[in-house]
Structure 1
């Protein structure tokens, strides 16, 4: 007997979308916190400015790292 995955059971598409949405929102929240902490550390001396472009790049890099980690956890090895 084959084991069924969550997508083969049917009518669970809402659950799958909700789980993916929570993962995305969690990654956005974590990346926002990390980017803000990075900004505070970068501007600690007062003579440097953390631009909006650097903030967005920091968030994107953190989101990509969160995606890799969640893919490793959810996808297994």
Structure 2
């Protein structure tokens, strides 16, 4: 998870971008922070998916084989 300070900085840069524009340094900082945020989000989502089992209404495990393989590889 990204720190509260970094999220606040992303929001501040976004607000400034809309109101008065950003310097080149601020634009680069915003780009780096957004990339870090997206990478953190993707890693979190991947971890969530690896802990999910999909079950149909009859109670059968219908988790896709690709996901089952990824789960198995993580355990080893």
Q: What is the TM-score of this pair, normalised by structure 2? A: 0.45
Higher helix content, 1 or 2: 1
Considering Cα pairs closer than 8 Å and 6+ residues apart, tell me whether 1 or 2 has the greater RCO.
Answer: 1
Which structure has the bigger radius of gyration? 2
